[in-house]
Structure formats: C-alpha cells, structure tokens
Amino acid sequence: MAIYIHITVVPRSGRQEIKQDTAGLKCYLKHPPEGGKANQELIKFFAKQLRLPQQQITIMTGGTGRKKRLKIDVPWELHELLQKLKI
C-alpha cells in the first residue's frame, strides 16, 4: 500500500522543516535545487522523520519544480503519516 502526497518545496531556506499551511504541505530544505541536491535532501529528510528506508520514498512528479508528488510505501493511513511527521 502507498500514500501519495503533494508537497511544495522551499530550497535554500537554511532549515529543515515540514509545515502545513492553507495551501497544503510545505517542506523547507537547506540545499539548493541544483544537481538534484534538494530532491535528495527531501527524500532523506522524510525517511529520517518517518523512520523508513529511503527506497520507500519516491518523487513521482515535480523532479525539477517546487511542487512535487511523493509516493511513500507504507501500510499507514494519511492521518498516521501526518502524526509521524508531527503535523
């Protein structure tokens, strides 16, 4: 089973944080978007927060944009995922 989430990424923000605002989920990352560094940081950050292997998190769409769709292979419901992310 997998959960798909839409997230807006803010690279080069100087912090790592996930927040929910009126537009949805927003993830602040330290790395710049060059060379896929921000995408790698996003996957590592989600894996660490959820205590999952990085292989269970995939960027489905938005590899070069700020708006991304993530696939997270877990047997959880969405509310459980948000609790684990402390949102």
CA torsion, points 22, 81, 78, 21, in degrees to nearest 10? 0
Inter-residue contact 61 to 74 (CB < 8 Å): no
For residue 87, what pLDDT band results from cuts at 50, 70 and 90? confident
For residue 9, what pLDDT band results from cuts at 50, 70 and 90? very high
- Mean pLDDT (whole number) for 79-85: 91
Look at residue 1 in the predicted model and tell me its pLDDT: 84
The residue whose two tokens read 């927060």 is 49
3-state helix, strand, coil in the chain (%, to 5): 30, 35, 35
CATH number of the domain within which 67 lies: 3.30.1200.10
- For residue 17, the enclosing domain spans 2-84
Look at residue 59 in the predicted model and tell me its pLDDT: 97
Predicted confidence (pLDDT) per residue in 20-63, tens digit: 988 889 999 999 999 999 999 999 999 999 999 999 999 999 99
Number of domains observed in the structure of the chain: 1
pTM: 0.92
